[in-house]
């Protein structure tokens, strides 16, 4: 089988590489010439563990290739996956569908009318988008033999390949038997490992993705608020999370408190679902509240750091460990660091920061930061250390060594990666989230 994947970002590139690993001949397309040239040279434009080896293996085997020539990729493809970005539309929070619509029009113009093609939206798109894609294609090419399907992606950055290869489920929304057959054939290796497949309508499939992401965002927000309460009443949020998470109806995952969710999906997807629900006269007040709480939380985190520094960071040096929205990615989209660092700078602090993968992108987004070569360099002469991302290498930090090179022994750990006793034994005043002791 042959597919084209339009958009070679976190989702398109991983999906393309994984389909080629399944044995499907895959052509990945992007508008970004530089990205495509780098991929052709074997340079992976994003940080995603294992992706370089997978791309190299399948490129070498002749199953995976990269092009900017969308028409050539689409011609003769059994399925064309749209995996372009759907960011928040500036001003109103609706999903910006301009990239999806533009891709649909380009695909339409390239379709070979003699071949049946399934057009699949892999991007996260609001209810109704699949039918709009069909309308755009039909308008441009009334004679084309095509069907549309929705196949939302649930991979997580940082473990994207494993998530794609061994997903909890695959969701496929389409009204067409022919499209279902093509999708079934493409996902055959996952059928063989008994991955649950949810076949449904276009609209249901589109909504499943938003319902999943907003539920997870609500779960994080719930434990964050419980953490705040723990601080007031002297309880330990990790024990609360364990105590409730062992109940199978609740589940253990996504019960880790932090500075508020960020990343390329939850902030924009919560907002977009709120807008869709309002437009349809069925407001999702619970998600509206989640969005509001999370925005306030991210903004309030700088205040915690200032309080830990005795009420002012004017003229203080702050060492920041981690800037990406989570570990094992270089993705900076909507990372809490983008709220916290500028707020500390505005309050008069100078910032030295280190992140294993995100510094190049972060340097473009947050000016005025001294970027350090490693965690210890970021902490040298610092009056306070703050942990913004729970990279494993920070968990292994030698706290005695850190204490020795800092000006003041203060840690604000917004990811709770250290044991409070260990930090205090090393001589630190240690502040974390939702645990007894200092907050
Ligand atoms: P991204 O911004 O990393 O990549 C999008 C790519 O599409 C870019 O390289 C861009 O140049 C390219 N592009 C845009 N228009 C194009 C066109 N007409 N032709 C060719 N290329 C074009 O985006 P992403 O993070 O991969 O997300 C893509 C979609 O997947 C979004 O809807 C997102 O919500 C969804 N999603 C993302 C994740 C994630 O973890 N990043 C997970 C699940 C779902």
ipTM of the complex: 0.99
Question: Is CATH 3.40.50.720 what the domain over 201-439 is classified as, yes or no?
Answer: yes
CA separation, residue 114 to residues 144, 148, 186 (Å): 8, 17, 21
Q: Which residues contact 308 (CB under 8 A, 6 or more apart)?
A: 384, 410, 412, 429, 431, 438
In angstroms, rounded to a whole number, what is the distance separating the alpha carbons of residues 338 and 364? 11
d(CA 340, CA 300): 8
- Per-residue model confidence (pLDDT) at position 91: 84
Atom 10, ligand 1: which residue's CA is nearest? 7
pTM for the full model?
Answer: 0.96
The answer to whether residues 149 and 173 touch, using CB atoms and an 8 Å cutoff, is yes
* Beta strand 79-82 pairing with 64-67: unpaired
Q: Please, is 19 exposed, middle or buried when counting C-beta atoms within 10 Å of its C-beta (0-12, 13-18, 19+)?
A: buried
Neighbours of 191 (CB within 10 A): 12
Query: What parts of the chain have a pLDDT lower than 50?
Result: none
Cα 24 to Cα 27, 77, 117, 331, 375, distances in angstroms: 10, 11, 15, 28, 42
Ligand 1 pocket: which of 264, 267, 271, 326 to mutate (most atoms within 8 A of CB): 264
Return the bridge partners of 431, or none.
Answer: 412
Q: Can you say whether the dihedral through the CA atoms of 58, 62, 68, 70 is positive or negative?
A: negative
Question: DSSP secondary-structure letter at 150?
Answer: E
Fold agreement between 2-200 and 201-439: yes
The confidence score (pLDDT) of residue 436 equals 81
Q: Return the best residue to mutate from 46, 51, 72, 85 for the ligand 1 pocket (most ligand atoms within 8 A of CB).
A: 85
Q: Is 372 in the pocket of ligand 1 (CB under 6 A)?
A: no
CA distance 177 to 186: 14
Alpha-carbon distance values, 277 to 83, 181, 248, 284 (Å): 24, 32, 29, 6
Count Cβ atoms within 10 A of the Cβ of residue 61 and give its class: 0-12 exposed, 13-18 middle, 19 or more buried.
Answer: exposed
264 lines ligand 1 (CB under 6 A): yes
Residues counted in the chain: 439
Ligand 1: which of 6, 12, 261 to mutate, most ligand atoms within 8 Å of CB? 12
Is 2-200 in CATH node 3.40.50.150? no
Domain range summary for the chain, segments of one domain joined by +: 2-200, 201-439
Which residues, 6 or more positions from 371, have their beta carbon under 8 angstroms from its beta carbon? 352, 353, 354, 359, 362, 363
- Residues that are catalytic: 265
Ligand 1 center to residue 6 CA distance, Å? 9
Q: Which residue's C-alpha comes closest to atom 38 of ligand 1?
A: 11
State the first-to-last Cα distance of the chain, in angstroms, to the nearest integer: 56
What is the number of the ligand 1 atom nearest to the C-alpha of 13?
A: 26
């Amino acid at each position: 089988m042959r597919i084209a994947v339009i958009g070679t970002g976190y989702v398109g590139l991983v999906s393309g590489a994984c389909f080629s690993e399944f044995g499907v001949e895959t052509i990945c397309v992007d508008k970004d010439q530089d990205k495509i040239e780098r991929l052709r040279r074997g340079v992976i434009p994003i940080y995603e563990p294992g992706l370089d080896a997978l791309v190299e293996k399948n490129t070498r085997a002749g199953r995976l290739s990269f092009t900017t020539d969308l028409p050539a990729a689409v011609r003769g493809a059994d399925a064309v996956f749209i995996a372009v970005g759907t960011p928040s539309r500036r001003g109103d929070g609706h999903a910006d569908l301009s990239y999806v619509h533009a891709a649909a029009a380009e695909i339409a113009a390239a379709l070979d009318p003699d071949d049946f093609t399934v057009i699949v939206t892999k991007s996260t798109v609001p209810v109704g988008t699949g039918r709009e894609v069909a309308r755009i294609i039909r308008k441009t090419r009334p004679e084309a033999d095509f069907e549309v399907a929705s196949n939302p992606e649930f991979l997580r950055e940082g473990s994207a390949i494993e998530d794609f290869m061994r997903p909890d489920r695959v969701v496929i929304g389409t009204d067409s038997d022919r499209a279902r057959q093509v999708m079934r054939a493409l996902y055959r290796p996952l059928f063989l490992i008994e991955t649950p497949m949810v076949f449904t309508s276009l609209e249901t499939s589109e909504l499943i993705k938003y319902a999943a992401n907003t539920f997870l965002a609500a779960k994080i927000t719930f434990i964050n608020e419980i953490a705040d309460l723990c601080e007031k009443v002297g309880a330990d949020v990790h024990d609360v999370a364990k105590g409730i998470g062992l109940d199978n109806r609740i589940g253990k995952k996504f019960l880790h408190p932090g500075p508020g969710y960020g990343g390329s999906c939850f902030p924009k997807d919560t907002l977009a679902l709120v807008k869709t629900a309002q437009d349809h006269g069925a407001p999702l007040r619970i998600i509206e509240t989640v969005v509001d709480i999370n925005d306030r939380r991210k903004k309030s985190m700088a205040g915690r750091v200032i309080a830990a520094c005795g009420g002012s960071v004017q003229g203080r040096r702050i060492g920041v460990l981690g800037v990406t929205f989570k570990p094992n990615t270089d993705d900076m989209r909507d990372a809490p660091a983008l709220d916290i660092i500028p707020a500390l700078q505005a309050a008069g602090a100078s910032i030295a920061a280190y992140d294993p993968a995100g510094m190049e992108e972060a340097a473009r987004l947050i000016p005025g930061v001294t970027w350090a070569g490693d965690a210890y360099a970021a902490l040298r002469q610092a009056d306070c250390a703050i942990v913004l991302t729970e990279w494993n290498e920070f968990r292994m930090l030698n706290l005695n060594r850190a204490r020795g090179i800092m000006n003041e022994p203060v840690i604000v750990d917004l990811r709770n990666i250290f044991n409070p006793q260990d930090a205090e034994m090393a001589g630190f005043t240690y502040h974390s989230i939702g645990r007894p002791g200092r907050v």
